[in-house]
Chains A and B, each alone.
Chain A
Amino acid sequence: MPENNLNLTLHVWRQNGQGSKGKMVEYKADDISTDMSFLEMLDVVNESLIKDGEDPIAFDSDCREGICGTCGMVIDGVAHGPERATTVCQLHMRHFNNGDKIYIEPFRAKGFPVIKDLVVDRTSFDNIIKAGGYISANTGSAPDANEILIPKDVADRAMDSAACIGCGACVAACPNASASLFTSAKISHLAVLPQGKPESQSRVVSMVQQMDSEGFGSCSNHGECEAVCPKEISISNIARMRREYFKALVGK
């Protein structure tokens, strides 16, 4: 075993689905290269579980380059683990020490029911977008792209908000399990752009309403969401959502 390799103890949440009760189970992860990503470490643990005839740990991932938003788990109490602006697929084992005990849990929220072990159902996020996270521009009806002038700083601000990958870490990290950062990022992205303005009032009302009905908590401005967000989306988006909502309240 190369001298830098790690021997770790994992405490992993195992749960067979929503109906069944889950529990933390201890696993050994030995001879882990520091060049592995966290998910590759779990791959290795699973390979040996399969060989031993045990049920491998269920977790989900797709692009493994931090952009699709599929992966996500809470590592030692922090969504996506200890590195800032990093999804768990981009978290590497060199940030851990030999002998570490690592607690691995799913994103916990009523709006994210557990499918199995570390895999949760985030359909609630799609439902929030469905409620109004779009500009109603039918294909073929668009004017020339340069007919809409958008100042660079406005485009940059829209992009800052649009960078959200919909992973759900904000919900997982929020002491209130609120989906405000996710919802507000889409509302802000569309509200700052001139194309998005005509629908901005109805959009914010529908999306907030949907967010509430999915069972997410209210926001208490802890800001933990911004701190775990792999794309560093700012809670100023949440403030904008409230401004937009206020405008809709006092508006028509």
Chain B
Amino acid sequence: MSAKSKGLSSVGKKLINGLTGLGLVFFVIVHLGGNLTLFSSNPDLFNSYAKKLHDLGFLLYAAEIGLLAVFIFHIVSAISVYMSKRKARAYGYHMKGNAGGASRKSISSVSMIYTGIILMAFIIWHVISLKFGPGIDQGYTTVLKGETARDLHKLVYEYFANPFNVSVYVIVMVLLGFHLRHGFWSAFQSLGANHPKYTPVINTTGYILAIVLAAGFLLIPIWIFINTGGGV
């Protein structure tokens, strides 16, 4: 009997969810790396990073489509896991408890679907307002090495002068931290990587990553907000 002919099992879904999850973690790390240039007082640093990406042209589109696919697979497999859970226990317990001890059940683990959905909504908003936000045509122009380019730096700085945007970003980045706290080690577990020696290392790495990524991403808007004089 072949596994392939049998459609996607619950284990298959976890393999996909784990693999795409790790892919997304990689993306988020790279994304933060690029964004760190926003801390620089020189706007050209961030803008030329954005331009370099933009100049990739077809490659960028391919990467974006790939990323979108990874997102979709991640989301679909996660929702399907969630739906199976709803069906598998139609009637819940009157008294809920936690066993403690070896359990890894935590706020972070039981809220994956909620933090995930919020992150998804956030990402759509984030992409619409920044990636597909105002560009050269709307006057966000700068000159890099003699070429006209989109002044994304200006857009971002204006965007984070708004206390509402900053608050949303800060909150969502905390939720990202929670999502990663369970998601990182869980992705390894879903891919079958569990080892008495390495799993504790992976678990700690997940903790650190969650904190570093959340902190990195939420410090940017705060830093910009403070630097732009705390509001328009």
List chain A positions with a Cβ less than 8 A from chain B: 11, 13, 24, 74, 76-79, 84, 103, 105, 108-111, 173, 175-178, 180, 201-202, 205-206, 208-209, 211-212, 215-224, 226-228, 232, 234-236, 238-246, 248-249, 252
Which label, helix, strand, loop or mixed, suits the secondary structure of the B interface?
loop
How many residues belonging to B are interface residues under a CB distance threshold of 8 Å?
50
Task: Give the distance in Å from the alpha carbon of A33 to the alpha carbon of B15 in the complex.
Answer: 50
Chain B hits for A223, CB < 8 A: 102-105
Task: Give the distance in Å from the alpha carbon of A221 to the alpha carbon of B11 in the complex.
Answer: 12
Task: Give the distance in Å from the alpha carbon of A246 to the alpha carbon of B190 in the complex.
Answer: 11
List chain B positions with a Cβ less than 8 A from chain A: 1-4, 6, 9-15, 80-81, 84-85, 87-105, 109-110, 112, 182, 185-186, 189-196, 199
Q: Is the CB of A176 within 8 A of B84?
A: yes
Q: Is the CB of B104 within 8 A of A221?
A: yes
Partner of A245, one of B9, B104, B194, B195: B9
Chain A hits for B81, CB < 8 A: 176, 217-218, 220
Min CB gap A97→B, angstroms: 16
Task: Give the distance in Å from the alpha carbon of A137 to the alpha carbon of B89 in the complex.
Answer: 37
Max chain B CB contacts within 10 Å: which of A173, A178, A211, A224? Answer: A224
Q: Is the CB of A221 within 8 A of B109?
A: yes
Q: Is the CB of A221 within 8 A of B96?
A: no
Partner of A221, one of B88, B92, B190: B190
Partner of B12, one of A24, A222, A224, A245: A245
Write 26 A-B pairs (CB below 8 A) sorted by A numbering: A11-B94, A74-B97, A79-B99, A84-B101, A103-B94, A108-B91, A110-B89, A176-B89, A177-B88, A178-B88, A205-B1, A215-B88, A217-B81, A217-B89, A218-B10, A218-B14, A219-B14, A221-B186, A224-B99, A226-B103, A236-B196, A239-B189, A239-B192, A241-B11, A245-B192, A248-B3
Closest to B6 in A: A209
Min CB gap A233→B, angstroms: 10
Min CB gap A236→B, angstroms: 4
Q: Is the CB of B15 within 8 A of A245?
A: yes
Min CB gap B78→A, angstroms: 9
Q: Is the CB of A212 within 8 A of B104?
A: no
Chain B hits for A224, CB < 8 A: 98-99, 103-105
Q: Is the CB of B87 within 8 A of A77?
A: no
Min CB gap B62→A, angstroms: 25
Min CB gap B90→A, angstroms: 6
Q: Is the CB of B182 within 8 A of A216?
A: no
Q: Is the CB of A246 within 8 A of B192?
A: yes
Chain B hits for A76, CB < 8 A: 95, 97
Closest to B187 in A: A221
Given A76-B97, A103-B95, A224-B103, A110-B194 contact (CB < 8 Å): no
Partner of B189, one of A211, A238, A248, A252: A238
Given A105-B94, A176-B88, A222-B109, A208-B15 contact (CB < 8 Å): no
